[in-house]
Amino acid sequence: MEKKKKIKRVIVIITIGVLLIAAAVFIVFRFMGGSHVGIDNNPEAPPQGNINTLVVYFSWSGNDQKMARWIAEEKGADIFRIVPADDYGSDYQACADRAKSELDNGTRPELAEHIDSEIMAKYDTIFLGFPVWWYDLPMPVWTFLEEYDLSGKTIIPFFSHNGSSDGANTLNRVKELAPNSDVKADDAISINGGKVASSEKQVKEWADKF
Ligand SMILES: Cc1cc2nc3c(=O)[nH]c(=O)nc-3n(C[C@H](O)[C@H](O)[C@H](O)COP(=O)(O)O)c2cc1C
């Protein structure tokens, strides 16, 4: 009898443990994975520097690309996509693991696309878009910000997320990596990834304020 009770207790404990693990996995995936509109890998037209505004973005699953393209359209601005030389692939877990290890190790991934410094010098305003990754700025954006002399330029951040609606550490990170720029962190727009598809009007109206 005592033995039966013990076995029952062990089964209950194991069941609760399994349920807790499943719930944790579900929450992490829901929170981190998020919804997305899908990335378009067609290259953007190369920036020419004939206007003073440039929209720069990094996007893995398309949300920030969508926002970037709306902003560029609204402002008649040039656009530049931050493209890592070694892409993050399409598997969420592989992307998440690599992103975490890059952040932990301070890795600056090499970029595949670059802007001529003379052309970069022509812009005085940069809209900078990115997803929140592990509560911080994705490392390719670190590489971008460190590659160029952005002093004296105005940087206006925009981002999407799946819960970190205040951008977690991203906005402070932009300020830290572009210390001589005027980073409009308080004016940044934040859109939940699941709402990006229906936010064209909101994003364009926001861009019009600048
Ligand atoms: C590697 C990785 C890490 C993420 N970390 C966070 C996070 O810390 N906080 C959050 O709110 N969302 C996080 N997300 C969700 C993305 O920020 C969200 O889905 C975003 O809209 C994706 O933008 P994109 O389509 O432009 O790549 C993460 C997504 C990935 C792929």
For the chain, percent of residues with pLDDT exceeding 70: 93
The HSE-up count of residue 100 (CA atoms within 13 Å, CB side) is: 7
138 CB within 6 A, ligand 1: no
Q: Which burial class, exposed, middle or buried, applies to 39 when counting CB atoms under 10 A from its CB (0-12, 13-18, 19+)?
A: middle
For residue 18, pLDDT beyond 80:
no
Element (H, E) at 81: strand 78-81
For residue 124, pLDDT beyond 60:
yes
Q: Is 0.85 surpassed by the pTM of this model?
A: yes
Counted residue by residue, the chain has a size of 210
Torsion of CA 111, 116, 117, 118, to 10 degrees: -170
Question: How far apart (Å, rounded) are the C-alpha atoms in residues 10 and 5?
Answer: 9
Average pLDDT over residues 27-54: 83
Closest-CA residue, ligand 1 atom 14, reads: 32
Q: Which of 39, 88, 162, 198 to mutate to test the pocket of ligand 1 (most atoms within 8 A of CB)?
A: 162
* pLDDT tens digits, 133-159: 999 999 999 999 999 999 999 999 999
134 CB within 6 A, ligand 1: yes
Architecture of domain 53-208: 3-Layer(aba) Sandwich (3.40)
Ligand 1 centre to CA of 48 (Å) is: 30
153 CB within 6 A, ligand 1: no
Q: Which burial class, exposed, middle or buried, applies to 73 when counting CB atoms under 10 A from its CB (0-12, 13-18, 19+)?
A: middle
What single string gives the DSSP state of each residue in 130-184? EE-BTTB--HHHHHHHHHS--TT-EEEEEEEESS-TT-TTHHHHHHHHSTTSEE-
